[in-house]
A and B are shown apart, each in its own frame.
Chain A
Amino acid sequence: MIRFNNVHKWFKDLHVLKGVNLEVTQGEVVVVCGPSGSGKSTLIRTVNQLETINEGEIWVDGVNVTDPKTNLNALRAEVGFVFQHFNLYPHLSVLENITLSPIKVKGMDKVAAEKQAINLLEKVGLAHKKDAFPSQLSGGQQQRVAIARGLAMEPRVMLFDEPTSALDPEMIGEVLKVMKDLAESGMTMMVVTHEMGFAREVADRVVFVDHGEIIEQAHPESFFTNPQHDRAKQFLRQLLTPMN
């Protein structure tokens, strides 16, 4: 579904992605983790070309997204993206946030789009907030709306860029629950997150990135109980016992 072939990216002199090779298959849930500044957010943003790359290829569902001839808008319409800071449209209501792109990008009619939006809001437990504005919602609620907004385009794959990092701790659970339901429905997902509980319970594979390289990838159980690489061991130690 997603394939990275020897992907390189530089920010000026900084080599942020150093020959990444990775494949995410249909229906798979892949968690990408690593220290901050390791390039994991950049990596996930290259999938729908919010970040361009300098070398290599990225294929999504049989389409080479790094080919200049590729219609990026059509591709992005099929790839859902959830941001760390939600990025809901503040001037539109919750319902309009969800229906805008199905109507404007896919040409869906308004009644059908609204019906679909309400279905999605029910799924994320926020149907009663359909007329609210983003500023009236908590962070967790905003992120759940953002997920519904992504799903409204009926994407083939969903990308999550640290979806819970900007949330208060008590709101993390409600967002992870929605993501877990989504994973169980068979959605292909690539998730950048520090939520190791989620990785352990939901992911099919954990990918550990450091300094722009994939250092290790493994089934979550073996990654957490028996990491192979020293840097992965150190990362997990810091995550589990941050004071030492």
Chain B
Amino acid sequence: MDFTQIVPAMPALWEGMLLTLKMLVLAVSGGVALGTVLALMRLSSNPLLSGLAKTYVNYFRSIPLLLVITWFYLAVPMLLNWITGTFVSVGAFTSCLVAFMMFEAAYYCEIVRAGIQSIPRGQLHAAYAVGMTYGQAMRLIILPQAFRKMMPLLLQQSVILFQDTSLVYAVGLMDFLNTARSKGDIVGLPHEFLIFAGAVYFVISFGASTLVKRLQKRLAV
């Protein structure tokens, strides 16, 4: 075992980690936003909207993430090509990002939906009683309270996504894990590099989970 070779590879590994984190932050933002829209649709009294959202959620929860990633890598450029009529090149990063956003939105939707449903009905009535529209009531009264309640769950789901971003290796993106694997292969020390990568994922994920649990306790008081 020779871990000293990891030191010269640090700049490349750091680049990989930056890509992982960038993907994570963008996918969580987009996923939560889309998930919130889906949750509002699911809770809508309009059967078409709630049916659409329900189908979406059930569909994406029933297929593997790896499939979605490869599918989007091939489908998104084709779709854009078909819509715009000209050839548009979509990088692997963008297609992965769209895949993560759409896949995670299905999970975030269920979290947000439960969060909204946990807010007492009286809050909505109080907002309506002073003349707020549905949009204002959601934006100013219900969602701020719901997000406070579901923050631990959203973060926990995001820790899972942090690990799942490593699936981008399938389309050749150099994230942290893929960089570590490739660097290890080059210098002929694959085990050391993978053990190191595993340790980094563990420290970050476990650290984040511990923080989330602490936050959960504080919010519960």
Residues on A lying within 8 angstroms of B by beta carbon are 48, 50, 73-81, 83, 85, 87-91, 100-101, 104-105, 149-150, 153
Q: How many A-B residue pairs have CB under 8 A?
A: 59
Cβ–Cβ contact A85 & B122, under 8 A: yes
| CB-contact partner of A89 in B125, B131, B141, under 8 A | B141
Residues on B lying within 8 angstroms of A by beta carbon are 120, 122-123, 125-126, 128-133, 136, 140-141, 144-145, 148
Distance, CA A48 to CA B129, complexed state (A): 7
Q: List 11 A-B contacts (CB under 8 A).
A: A48-B128, A73-B131, A73-B133, A75-B131, A76-B128, A77-B130, A77-B131, A78-B131, A83-B125, A87-B123, A87-B125
Chain B residue contacts of A73, Cβ below 8 A: 131-133
Chain A residue contacts of B133, Cβ below 8 A: 73
Chain B residue contacts of A90, Cβ below 8 A: 145
Give the Cβ gap from A77 to chain B, nearest Cβ, in Å.
Answer: 3
Cβ–Cβ contact A91 & B145, under 8 A: yes
Q: Beyond A104-B136, A104-B140, A105-B136, is A89–B126 a contact (Cβ under 8 Å)?
A: yes
Give the Cβ gap from B170 to chain A, nearest Cβ, in Å.
Answer: 42
Distance, CA A101 to CA B129, complexed state (A): 10
Chain B residue contacts of A79, Cβ below 8 A: 129
Chain B residue contacts of A101, Cβ below 8 A: 130-132
Distance, CA A119 to CA B132, complexed state (A): 23
Cβ–Cβ contact B125 & A105, under 8 A: no
Distance, CA A50 to CA B132, complexed state (A): 12
Distance, CA A99 to CA B16, complexed state (A): 48
Cβ–Cβ contact B129 & A50, under 8 A: yes
Q: Which of B128, B133, B145 has the most CB of A within 10 A?
A: B128
Cβ–Cβ contact A76 & B131, under 8 A: yes
Cβ–Cβ contact A91 & B125, under 8 A: no
Give the Cβ gap from A109 to chain B, nearest Cβ, in Å.
Answer: 17
Distance, CA A66 to CA B129, complexed state (A): 16
Cβ–Cβ contact B131 & A153, under 8 A: yes
Distance, CA A90 to CA B144, complexed state (A): 10
Chain B residue contacts of A50, Cβ below 8 A: 125, 128-129
Give the Cβ gap from A89 to chain B, nearest Cβ, in Å.
Answer: 6
Chain B residue contacts of A77, Cβ below 8 A: 130-131
Distance, CA A73 to CA B135, complexed state (A): 12
